[in-house]
Structure 1
Amino acid sequence: MIPLSVLENLHRWYQAWFLPVWQAPLLTGEYAEVTAGRLVLGIVFFLLFNRLIKTIFRQSRLPRLFRVISDPDTRSWMVNFTSFLLLVVLFFLTLFIVGIPLTVLSRIWNLTLFTVKDSSVQLGNILLGLALLYPGLKVSRYLSNEFQKIFLSQLKLETATKKSLEVVLRYVLVILVVLFVLTIVGVPLTAFTLVGGAVAIGVGLGSQNLVNNFLSGIVLMTERPLKIDDVVEIEGRQGIVEFIGGRSTRIRTFDNVRMVIPNSKLLENTVINWSLMDRDLRREVSVGVAYGSPTHRVRDLILEAVREHPQIKRSPEPLVLFREFGDNALLFTVFFWVELTESNKPLIIESDIRFAIDQKFREAGIDIAFPQRDLH
């Protein structure tokens, strides 16, 4: 058993030292009374439950509510947002434990910042609006993606049309979310009529490029000079259209480089769409042979080299033309058609044809001509 003298010493220490420090006022006033003891309790309470929240929302210990969501991005932001809301609730509970009553928090929440057309905009409504804006935008993106997966994927439409409908739906949902948040904040929609002129001037001066790109994106989605998976060429770079958005278009080159191009640039500059009507592309390879070579045999060998290539189309058939009698060679050109895809790169196919022609000419004893100069 603990001796009585020890207990008496502890009691005296508690009365003389601990209790005065614990009850020492740190903040006193009309709206709050914070003591050292309450501050310590609040800090301990916040740290413990903050640790608990982080433990619960670890990826390996997710609640079942989030595990049913298959999309990892959606699941991630929902987990983070729910964790943030719990931390906000924990923060207010900590303030209450410290000694700041809820009436003070209520007054801060209802604090009027400004008035718009006889409507008061309060601090709490702004915080609530910001808290709803982030998940609202994420939900808009998630719903548009699900709409594409569940509904649009069942329709017999082109990929570009499905993507355009998905983008349009996303913008509509975003506009609805923004209008809802403005209503929550307390800004009446009729107030925009008062600032319409200022907004127009702002758009005209500071947002020309943004509006121009957005309108150009609408034109691209409606007239559809470019579609998803089209093979295009702009400024000497070829690639495949991956995404057409409201502001920019993303193109993946054959070197696996992503180019993000403003939509207005696609309408203002010359863009070659190699697959606008179809993906058939005519290519040509020229070769010169020495004078005295059997021209019909040369033609047959060139055709044989082209027809043996697996990526050259059989229809239309390859065509060999005897172009001219050159200064140092008899010039031949073969025309052939290929289907333009990411794997069928025309430059590689042309190189293969040149290798094949050179091999067949060597086997047949036909010389490929080169410039010669006779010196006297």
Structure 2
Amino acid sequence: MHKTNFSLRRLNIILIIFLLFSGHLNSQNKNSSDTLKKSIEVINTSEIPIKSGDIIIEYQRIQESAVSTLEIENRAQQTDSILSIIDSLMILDRTIDLGLETTRFLSNRMVFWRNFADYLNKEKKSLTKVLHVISDFEDEVEKDIIVWKNTEDKLVKDENQSTLLFRVVDVLKILDSAKYILKVKSEDLLIILNNTAERSIKVEEFINDLDKAYSNKKSEIFVRNEPSIFTIDYKDPDTRSLIKPLKNFYNTEFTELVLFLKKDIFEGILQLLLLIGLIFIFNEIKFKILKTDIIVDSIYSRMLFKIMSRSVSAAIIIGVFANFIIFKDRPELFKDILVLIISVPIIVIARTIVPRGFYKYTYLFGIVIILSMVYFIFPTDNMYFMILMLLIALIEMYVLYKLTVYFYHNPYNQRLYNLSIFLILLVHLGFAVTGFFALLLGSTTLAEVSLRIPVTNAFNALLIFSIVIIINGFITFGVETNYAKKLNVIRLYGEIIKRRAISLVNLIFFILWIQTILNVINIKRVVIDSITAFLHDTISIGSASFTPGNIIMFFLVIWLSIVISRIIQILLEKDILYRLNLAKGIPNTIAVMVKYSLVTIGVLLAISAAGMPLSSLTVLAGAFGIGIGFGLQHIFNNIVSGFILLLERPIQIGDTVEVGQLIGNVKTIGIRASCIRTFDGAEVIVPNGQLISNEVVNWTLSDQKRRIEVFTGVAYGSDPHLVKNLFEKVLKDHTDIIDDPTPKVFFKGLGDSALEFRLLFWTSNYHEWVRIQSEVVFAIHDVLYKEGISIPFPQMDLHFKSIDKSFDFGDKGKDETK
């Protein structure tokens, strides 16, 4: 033992020395290679004719593959025209006083200029890519010029090679010409890139100005920016005008929407086709779900039955919601139209869920949505704006008041749930009342924000609730279908997968719901900026410094790698490799090795994500080696033994093994330890080192065969030949007893009370050997009983040499009775 420890420590010291000096050796090798690269390259005299022809063909290819001069000119003209348009539009928008505009106008202008910003960024990336290609060609030309220059110098010294010298000079002229052409192209492209970058900076600056004006406008909640409803001049034609705001709306937002749709007409057609496809798919799913015989035992399943009865509405909700998530930079009017479209199926689905008494509230909700889509057409000092906003305020106050009273008088059994609903309704009722009085006093910004909160939160809550029910319902039914249960993963871990998937969906949409609430109350940006500042705040402890974001990212990446590796391991072991008819134990070996490989990659990614250079792993490996030498020998021994078990496979999952006094089935084989389940049901964790270093009996390593032994006896006077034949017939007739090796019946000997027999037979069903042995014993008893052969028990004959005459055997009493 002492000798083993000394060898292990010596190995660790060698490992540390190797790690410390590996970097130095690598740097020496790098310097040596750099020196070799700097050696003078010269073309052999015999190869000059061939090489010169090859170089001419090569640079003809370069001229064809590189961008042509005509293409550069056309690109410059196109870019100049677009940049001129941007300059003209920028001059016009710069004359606008952004502080006087509405948030809707500012949002539309941001969307408008972000489209230009995206175009300019794409142009910059495209130009940069072309410049990189030309730069690579220039490097190749430069290297070839150096080689041919060296060759020219060599030939100048050799007076007998004048013909080849002229050839080399011609090649150098071609190379110089190619270098000049590439340089001109590069300079022209750099001019285009520089102009594009300048406009891109100006556009980004203007977008930032719009964003600041938008934020400032939304922060002016408590400013009285319009006359109150009592002091407004209703005699003013502009105040009562209906046609003028409509014309202005048509010339601005409607025109921008038309241009947007024309520009992205193909995308719009594609989305429409996708929506039609979703409707068809959901309709097919509806018939399958309604015809299924799956037991509906969860709230998601019951809700899904109701929602899928309106399959078209469900498809529209999913399709339009995906449009919201994927495509964010859309004109405000386009977003309003999508909200109006998706509101119809939301109301339809809400009617299938809520009691009949709540139907009128869903209709009023739809009316508020429509009014919210209309009031923005009019300026804030317009009479129709005031009327529409008052209608919205009155409807919201009525609905929220009625719902608050209802839930107050009809509480749920769960007190906390009922209190939460009551408080949410009460808070939103407060917002509606605030908006009503703000509108009366002329604080239109406060009124808009306050009245938008109830309807927007209700819309988002119904939308997210419907989507969560649909997705979680699909997960529940998907796991319960017969197609899914054909997979071993679903059959073994179906409930766990269902619970985890539903929890993940709920978490994602809860975060999304919180984000929408923060956006409605205008504090989303503040919260995000605060969280971002916290995550990037540097914390120093001594000479070490880190950020909370790096720490969170480190553990998040490791957690994700463990989860993903576990999922892949289960899929490989239970389904993919299981169906390939591989040798026993190989699926587990491959799955475990893949799992730990993915975990290792995840750890490396986590270290990189945390900002730690991977070169520091050398020091960590050295420290790990020292730890092994001093205190982690047993753990390291178990880990190495785990890899040996996985690679050599002397023990496999499902094997019946005997380790010392422990006997049971191998349940799992890990890197550090394995789990053995005894026949009593206990699960014993055995370090892998014991399975390698100690003697282990594997009853099922090569096959599932086991020999079973039964001892029995018959009474003296029985025919032993008949008994042997009967026993052989019993063994032959049993279906679980194999013919190879042949079952044997031996006449063991003449016992004290019986003729003793020994039965030896084999079975290929090892795990059922106790049952098989019992059935054979039953069959032996039945056949002996049928043949009238008795099964003896130990007997003893007692012989009396003398009897005391006074001893009474009881015969006298019997006679008297008679």
TM-score (norm 2): 0.36
Amino acid at match of 1:159: K
Which residue of structure 1 lines up, in the alignment, with residue 535 of structure 2? 109
The CA RMSD measured in Å over matched residues stands at 4.6
Which residue of structure 1 lines up, in the alignment, with residue 725 of structure 2? 300
Tell me: CA distance 1:208–1:283, structure 2 relative to 1, closer, same or farther (3 Å).
same
Tell me: CA distance 1:196–1:330, structure 2 relative to 1, closer, same or farther (3 Å).
same
Distance 2:455 2:541 in 1: 40
8 Å Cα contact 1:321/1:334 also seen in 2:
yes
Distance 1:55 1:129 in 2: 35
Alignment of 1:132-151 (within 5 A): 132-146=557-571
Alignment of 1:4-153 (within 5 A): 53=464, 55-58=466-469, 61=472, 77=500, 80-81=503-504, 83-85=506-508, 87-88=510-511, 97-98=522-523, 100=526, 102-114=528-540, 120-146=545-571, 152=577
8 Å Cα contact 1:42/1:98 also seen in 2:
no
Which residue of structure 2 lines up, in the alignment, with residue 358 of structure 1? 781
- Alignment partner of 1:347 is 2:770: yes
Amino acid at match of 2:467: I
- Summarize deviations over 1:26-81 as a string: whole Å, max 9, x none: xxxxxxxxxxxx99x999988985786455323655689x9799665667645544
Q: Which has the higher helix share?
A: 2
Amino acid at match of 2:790: D
Determine helix, strand or coil for the equivalent of 1:58: helix
Amino acid at match of 1:220: L
- Alignment partner of 1:262 is 2:686: yes
Matched-pair identity in %: 31
Distance 2:782 2:590 in 1: 52
Which residue of structure 1 lines up, in the alignment, with residue 20 of structure 2? none
Which residue of structure 2 lines up, in the alignment, with residue 320 of structure 1? 745
Determine helix, strand or coil for the equivalent of 1:159: coil
Amino acid at match of 2:686: P
Distance 2:598 2:661 in 1: 38
8 Å Cα contact 2:472/2:502 also seen in 1:
no
Alignment of 1:153-302 (within 5 A): 155=580, 157-196=582-621, 199=624, 211-233=636-658, 239-251=664-676, 257=681, 259-264=683-688, 265-267=690-692, 270-302=695-727
Distance 1:211 1:123 in 2: 32
Gaps of 5+ in 1: 5-13, 23-37
8 Å Cα contact 2:468/2:509 also seen in 1:
no
Determine helix, strand or coil for the equivalent of 2:539: strand
Determine helix, strand or coil for the equivalent of 1:174: helix
Tell me: CA distance 1:362–1:67, structure 2 relative to 1, closer, same or farther (3 Å).
closer
Which residue of structure 2 lines up, in the alignment, with residue 8 of structure 1? none
Deviation at 1:150, TM superposition (A): 8.0
Segment of structure 1 superposing worse, 364-373 or 178-187: 364-373
Deviation at 1:322, TM superposition (A): 1.7
Deviation at 1:165, TM superposition (A): 0.7
Determine helix, strand or coil for the equivalent of 1:373: coil
Distance 1:318 1:151 in 2: 40
Amino acid at match of 2:786: E
Distance 2:456 2:632 in 1: 48
8 Å Cα contact 2:676/2:686 also seen in 1:
no
Deviation at 1:355, TM superposition (A): 2.1
Tell me: CA distance 1:146–1:295, structure 2 relative to 1, closer, same or farther (3 Å).
closer
* Bigger Rg, which one: 2
8 Å Cα contact 1:218/1:246 also seen in 2:
yes
8 Å Cα contact 1:320/1:333 also seen in 2:
yes
Deviation at 1:223, TM superposition (A): 2.0
TM-score (norm 1): 0.71
Distance 1:334 1:62 in 2: 60
Amino acid at match of 2:773: E
Which residue of structure 2 lines up, in the alignment, with residue 7 of structure 1? none
Q: Which has the higher strand share?
A: 1
Deviation at 1:171, TM superposition (A): 0.8
Determine helix, strand or coil for the equivalent of 2:533: helix
- Summarize deviations over 1:296-345 as a string: whole Å, max 9, x none: 22222222222222211223222222222222222211211111344xx2
Tell me: CA distance 1:146–1:338, structure 2 relative to 1, closer, same or farther (3 Å).
closer
Distance 1:117 1:360 in 2: 88
8 Å Cα contact 1:250/1:260 also seen in 2:
yes
- Summarize deviations over 1:113-150 as a string: whole Å, max 9, x none: 247988x5222233334444433332233344455678
8 Å Cα contact 1:299/1:320 also seen in 2:
yes
Deviation at 1:173, TM superposition (A): 0.9
Deviation at 1:179, TM superposition (A): 1.3
8 Å Cα contact 1:325/1:331 also seen in 2:
yes
8 Å Cα contact 1:213/1:262 also seen in 2:
no
Amino acid at match of 2:613: P
Aligned residues: 344
Amino acid at match of 1:138: V
Which residue of structure 2 lines up, in the alignment, with residue 368 of structure 1? 791
Segment of structure 1 superposing worse, 158-167 or 83-92: 83-92
